[in-house]
Amino acid sequence: MDTHKTKSMQHIEDTMQDVNPESLRYHVLESAKNFKTSWVALGRSLYTVWKDKLYKDWGFNTLEGYTSKEIGIKKPTAMKLLRSYYFLEKEEPQYLSKEYNESAEATAVPTYESIDLLRKAKNNKVLDSQDYVNLKKDIFEKGKDAQVVKKDLTSLIRERKEIDPEETHEKERVNITKRYLSMLKNMKKEIEITKLLPASLLRETEVLISKLEEEI
């Protein structure tokens, strides 16, 4: 464990001594202490803290201030925890059941990074329902590491985009249009500044710019 983590853990333990062991605040601290094996518990607690703005009752103006100062978790990680927990609660509640968590070994429970990737896959229009099912099996049944899942997901999305030539063509059309539009706007500025070309050409350039803007 590195020095930063050691200090963070010590801070958590020190804070726990001054907090009621029966309170939610104590439970959040305890979950943060056991973060590696109980991210679900921490995510659940943080979701309640965020939803009810309990951090304000504890002397913090923002959730970010609370998570970074009291439990040593930076905002990006806290947001991933919240999103991952909420995603499971909404889309895959069976994995939050007491029975599942008691039967699954701590090392076999998917990380919050893996669940965040599953969440992104669910919301990706390029992927279909079967892609999502396969990814879910990789995470929950095969226990694939988050980095491997991310690599597989990136390859799959790229593959799906290549299969959809119409979408690829449309994206290319828009990009080319934007490039031409930028060139024309620069040309228009040059014409206005130098005044070396006829006013009629400036008007024609303005018309063309307007037509291209309609195409985006």
Which is more confident, 186 or 35? Answer: 186
Confidence of residue 106 (pLDDT cuts 50, 70, 90): very low
Please tell me the predicted confidence (pLDDT) of residue 41: 86
Residue 122 burial by Cβ neighbours in a 10 Å radius (0-12, 13-18, 19+): middle
At residue 192, the 3 state secondary structure works out as helix
**Between 95 and 82, whose confidence is greater?**
82
- Three-state DSSP class for 186? helix
Question: Mean pLDDT across the chain, nearest whole number?
Answer: 84
Token reading at 192: 């206005």
Q: What pLDDT band is residue 54 in, cutting at 50, 70 and 90?
A: very high
The pTM assigned to this predicted structure is 0.60
Nearest to 117 by CA among 86, 150, 93, 90: 150
Q: Look at 8-12, 80-84, 144-148 and tell me which has the smallest mean pLDDT.
A: 8-12
- Which one has a higher pLDDT value, 12 or 162? 12
Sequence spans of domains, the chain: 1-105, 110-163, 171-214
pLDDT at 4 over 70: no
The pLDDT value given to residue 103 = 60
User: Distance between CA 216 and CA 206 in Å, rounded?
Assistant: 16
pLDDT of residue 13: 86
- Cα 174 from Cα 185, distance rounded (Å): 16
Return the number of other C-beta atoms located less than 10 Å from residue 102's C-beta.
7
